[in-house]
Amino acid sequence: MTLPQDYLEYPLRRHGMDHDWYPWRNHFSIPAHAWPNGARLAVWLCTSLEFFPLNPSGKPFKAPGSMVTPYPDLRHYTTRDYGNRVGVYRMLRLFAALGLRGSFAVNAAVAARYPQLIADVCGDGHEIMAHGVDMGQLHHGGLDDASEAALVDESLATLRGVSGQAVRGWLSPARSESVRTPRLLAERGIEYFCDFVNDELPYDFATPAGPLVAMPHSLELSDRQILIDYHHSEADYARQVRDQCDVLLAESQHFGRRILSLPLTPYIVGLPYRIGTLRELLADLSAREGVWFATGAELCAAWRSRA
């Protein structure tokens, strides 16, 4: 079996990227500015509120956290739902006790099913970001334009309606996109999205409907990645977040503002045996000199004002 000759042709072998979405950038050559009020490190708490249907389509793949056993997988359905009933309220209480605000990336299905939860999140001053419709309906190239547009429309209409917020941020379920997803978002008033994990500061992402801000939303520092996928202990999770905080604060002395994005999942870190770790961790981070807990919209606005 021989490969065709075009396997050795490289039409996009050129300076910069192999697409036109964004140019290459050296993270350490970005002009050094501070965040508002002289803050050096913004900590962005980004909590996901997700609905995992009992009957996911699995197309084009199952989102992390989806049902596992044969139908009806009550075990996984209810452990995920626990997060939206108990875990998240534990986290809200913790955030309020420490006076911290952040963003919540919400499936429209969660808002439609549990409007009280959205009212409680908004009532505590947190930002609502769109996170698609539910975890069984992914954005991918196999959808036609109208079908994907309908997903975005349903997500935004529901979340804007239930929350009363403008909803300018987006995280795709499972970070899965088609090539048209960014354009569909830009056309509908989304200002920033966070599916790309290639940076630690915002950058402009080109779409045919104008630029979006690509916001850093960590994969490697997420509770899912460290606690579930890597099987690390709670102590090792907290240690890695603290190590990241130390390094970013040190870098900020020379290189200016930094972002520590901390994706949180209520059915993971909101469990009784883990919440204490989160409490100590956030109390520690919030006591650091130069740390600013911000929402995604606040970070986006601050970035744009001094890009």
Residues that bind another protein (CB under 8 A): 1-8, 10, 12-19, 24-28, 60-61, 140-142, 172, 174-179, 195-200, 219-221, 229-232, 236, 239-241, 243-244, 246-248, 251
In sequence order, the 6+-apart residues with CB closer than 8 A to the CB of 9 are: none
Q: How far is the CB of 134 from another protein (least distance, A)?
A: 18
Q: 213 has which bridge partners? A: 192, 204
Q: How far is the CB of 291 from another protein (least distance, A)?
A: 14
Residues 118, 116: Cα–Cα separation, whole Å: 5
In sequence order, the 6+-apart residues with CB closer than 8 A to the CB of 162 are: 111, 112, 115, 118
Q: How far is the CB of 177 from another protein (least distance, A)?
A: 5
Residues 107, 134: Cα–Cα separation, whole Å: 5
Residues 167, 261: Cα–Cα separation, whole Å: 19
Q: How far is the CB of 145 from another protein (least distance, A)?
A: 16
Q: How far is the CB of 141 from another protein (least distance, A)?
A: 6
CB of 112 or CB of 197, closer to another protein: 197
CB of 25 or CB of 93, closer to another protein: 25
Handedness of CA 86, 167, 226, 291 (dihedral sign): negative
Question: Are the C-beta atoms of residues 291 and 285 closer than 8 Å to each other?
Answer: yes
Question: Residue 93, Cβ neighbours under 10 Å: how many?
Answer: 13
CB of 28 or CB of 71, closer to another protein: 28
CB of 24 or CB of 71, closer to another protein: 24
CB of 156 or CB of 201, closer to another protein: 201
